[in-house]
Structure formats: structure tokens, C-alpha cells
Structure 1
Amino acid sequence: MNGTRTDPPVLVRREGAVGHVLLNRPEAMNAVTVELGARLEQALRDLAADGTVRVIVVRGAGGTFSVGGDFHEVERLRAGGPDALTPLFVNFGRACASIAELPVPVVAAVEGYAMAGGFELMQACDIALVRADARLADNHANFGQVPGGGGSQRLPRLVGRQRALGHLLSGERLTGEQAAAWGLAYRSFAAEDFEQGVAAFAERLADRSGDALAKIKKLVYGGLGTTLVDGLALELDTVVEHVCGDAAGAGIAAFTRSERA
């Protein structure tokens, strides 16, 4: 799968306020390599630092999100021992972890296969939009492997212990519709509506106040890491500071003008 291909494993483009990150190894179903992990993190951070980008959409080339780690690269790195293998998991783990740190929402547009690391990347994104006929699974156990991209930690937090362990230990596949029913995806779309649905949702987020989106996202992730009492105190401090600010003031003024019209 590594071959002699020289195209970048991750591509970036901007369309107005929407930044696009494309996993670009279609010949390998966008399998994760050391380089892909590093470039994915850099692409996400670069777009988030661009003052014009208000939402990032992550997807895979060739009609597949990602099948996870590249077994050819894993086998090659294993020969070099732990020091050679560790960067594969560190780079990908850092890319996934960076998403929660970014001030802009990151949306996974999932079609085709999202397996193992691809499924873990989907979980790490702030919001997942899936095609109803997508095929999703943490299938590490099917190959005698252990999750290495955060699946053993994020999945129980997203769907609860019973579903997480049942899925992780069995490796059973889910459809996009099932993923939405489990709370792993915000919405599933029929195949014919997927592209339009993703584009419309991204544009909806891009039309929102970037300051408000950043604060909401920070509140949610901050609250997940603390108690309800402390999270509510954080929310109170944030909303008072925000409403007193210029950006919120403009929004309130616009609302009151519309009511008088």
C-alpha cells in the first residue's frame, strides 16, 4: 500500500468559511501512516488558526473515510521494535486529541468504511455526519489487536460501558443509521442526500458567530472533564463575560431590531 505514490496523504482546501481536510490515500482506503497522522494534525491546526475558517470538515478520498492503521506500515515498523512503532500511534493520537483543543467545530463526513482508526477519528471529531449505508466498526479484536487511537476511552464515554464493550469485544459492524441511533453521529443521510446534507450543515455552522461557537465548544469539553457543579460555574462566568462583549451585543441588538420591525 505504501508503493511509490508521492501525493500528499492529507489535502487541505478552503471554501469561504469552511475548511476541508481530505485523507488522501484512496488506493489504501485512507489507511493511517506515521506521515498521515502528523499531516492530519498540522492541517487541522493550520485551518483552525486561519481567521477566515469557522468550521472544518474531515473526510476521506475515494468514497471511504478510513479503514484505520496501514497494516503494511505496522508490519514494517514492528520489525524496528517499540521505538519505531510508537510514532504511528502518537502522531494519530495527537491528531485526534487536537480536535477538542481547536476553537472551531470539526465535522466528520463519513461514508464507505470507517474502521478501527477511522472509527476512532470519527469519535474524536466534534460532530459526525454519516451516510446511512456507511459501514463502521472498531474491528481491532477481529484481528487480535487492541485499539490504539482512543477507542477504548472515547467510545464508553459516548455510548456507555455496555454498548462500548459489546462493540469493542465483538467487532460487529454498524450502519450509519445505527451509529446515529447510538449517539455516535449527529445525523445520518440517505446516500442521495449525503453531499447536500453535509454541505448545508457546514454552511449553517459557518454562518454562526465564531466567538460563540468557540466558547460553546470549550464549555462542553471543559464540563466533560469536571463535575456538574464546576461546569455550571464555568458556564455562568462564560455567559456573563460573553453577553457583556461586543460580539454578543451586536447579536442582541440585531434581534431586538427584528422584533420591532
Structure 2
Amino acid sequence: MSGTDTSAGVSAVVETSIDDRVGTILLNRPEAMNAITVALGTQLEAALRTLEPQVDVIVIRGAGGNFSVGGDFNELQSLRAQGREAMAPLFANFARACATIVELDVPVIAAVEGFAMAGGFELMQSVDIVLVHEKAKVADTHSNHGMVPGGGSTQRLPRVVGKQRALAHILTGDRLSAADAVAWGLAYKVIPASEFDSEVSDFAHKLAGKDRTALARSKRLVHAGLELPLSDGIAMEADTVLDHLSEDTSGGGIEAFTEKKGS
């Protein structure tokens, strides 16, 4: 199936597919290295919301060997000529798509290969887990074009890598390697080129095999806790684990473990 903004007569630039309980979202503008447009932002949000009830894990990828090079300069220039209000949907649609990821109960993985620049780099920061191709090149390159980040880098990046690294990176626009991304905490794992597709698939299916409710609650605790004082976050965690263990469906894993240990 595919995500298409049919109401506006816009062709699909985001496609979705399902394999067992793993959903894949494909940014499908390979001729433009998956540059972000007004339509892509709209369709990305729609694809995330459509897939969530059908799957246990979502993987976001880019077509043609690249994740995304960021905003589409051609569309931006056209919108810019029309004034401030015309440009707003380009950033608002993409921001809503990125914010949606946190709201979903299922883990969202970015499988990053090729270039992940500017808005593509910001989408990386928005997902739950990043798996990065060994030859990937990632960066916030806005400053190289005399621009200010508009997809969340100034807010998310310091929270992930700290003020020094975030500010230096945003101001310089220096490229980061796959190894740098892992060292900075921007990615979980570097995957060799020859194994990229299979390892991404294996990783996603392994997650999909776990208890959906447990993963959803853990994800929610992490994201919510980042906005709270530590003591409040610890209290929230305690309440959540007690709720989880009090439910009839929450003890299967514990029972299976104790039965196996006793046999």
C-alpha cells in the first residue's frame, strides 16, 4: 500500500508496506535524494498514524540509497517568493510528522544510508532508534547554506549530544561518519554495507516479537521522563511498572521464565 495525499491531488512520495508485524515507510523521491516537501511531510505523518495500529515496529527508510538530504530547495524558493505564510506548511507538516513519532506506542527505527542531511538529519533525531549504514554521511548542513535549522535540530540535538557538540555542529555543518553518529549517541549501531538490509530486518522483527504493551510503556517513560525532574520520572516509572504487573496479561514473560528455571 502507499501513502498518498489524494485529497489534494498530490502523487505519493511516501510509500508503506507491511512484513509480518513490521511496517516500513519509504521516503520515495530518489531523483531528489528524498528531499522534504510539503507533501512529503503530510504523507509521512499520515503513514505513521496509518501503520501504527497494524504493526508492532515501524522502519523509516529512503529510496535510492539515501535517507534524505533535507528540505527541497526548489520548492522552498517557490514558496519563499509567495511570502512567509506560504512557507509555513513546509516546516509545520514536517514538524508534526516528527512529533508524531513520540506519540506512537510502537518503536520507530530509522535505517539510515547514504546522505542524511539537514531535515534528514533532524528526522534521525526524532526516531526512537537509528541503525546506520557504515558509509552513511550525516550532518546538520543548514549553516552551509546560510540557513537556520527548521526541523528541530536546535532543540533536539543539545538534548542528545550536549550543548558543546550540538552548537559546534550546527554552526560548522561538519559531516559526521557512521562511527561518529554512534559515538555521539545519534545512532545505536553501525551496520556493514553487505549486511545492512538483512540486519535492519532482523533487528526490527526481533523487536516486533516482544510484548507490545511493555515496549510502549518503556518508550513512553523514556520520552516523558526527559521532560521531568529525575524524582518525578522515577515516581512515574514506579507507578507504571506496578500497573503493568497488576494486569492479567503482563505476567506471561515472568511465568515462562520461572517455569523454565524450575524445570
What TM-score do the two structures reach when normalised by structure 1? 0.96
What pairs up with 1:242-261 in 2 under 5 angstroms? Answer: 242-261=244-263
Superposed CA offset, 1:95-119 (max 9, x none):
0011011000000000000000000
In 1, distance between residues paired with 2:246 and 2:53?
25
Q: What is the CA RMSD across the aligned residues, in angstroms?
A: 0.9
User: Which letter does structure 2 place at the counterpart of 1:92?
Assistant: F
1:12: Cα distance to partner?
A: 0.5
Q: Partners in 2 of 1:17 and 1:212 — Cα distance?
A: 16
Preserved contact between residue 119 and residue 138 of structure 1 (Cα < 8 Å): yes
Where do 4+ consecutive residues of structure 1 move more than 2 Å? none
Name the structure 2 match of 1:137.
139
Equivalent residue, structure 2, for 1:108: 110
- Residue 37 (structure 1) aligned to one of 33, 37, 41: 41
1:23 to 2:1 alignment: no
Residue from 154, 168, 171 that aligns with 1:169? 171
3-state SS of 2:249 partner: helix
Partner of 2:18: 14
Specify every segment of 5 or more residues in structure 1 that has no aligned partner in the other structure, as ranges. 1-5
Partner of 1:3: none
Aligned length: 254
1:7: how far off?
Answer: 4.9
- 2:224 aligns with 222
Q: Secondary structure, in 3 states, of the residue corresponding to 2:190?
A: strand
Deviation at residue 247 of structure 1 after TM alignment: 2.2
Return 5+ residue gaps in structure 2 as ranges.
Answer: 1-9
Task: State how far apart, in whole Å, the 2-side matches of 1:67 and 1:224 are.
Answer: 28
Structure 2 partner of 1:86: 88
- Could you list the per-position Cα deviations for residues 149-187 of structure 1 after superposition, in whole angstroms to 9, with x for gaps in the alignment? 001100000000010011000000011111011110011
SS at match of 2:130: strand
Letter in 1 for 2:85: D
Which secondary structure state, in structure 2, belongs to the residue aligned with residue 69 of structure 1?
A: coil
TM-score (norm 2): 0.95
Report the identity percentage: 57
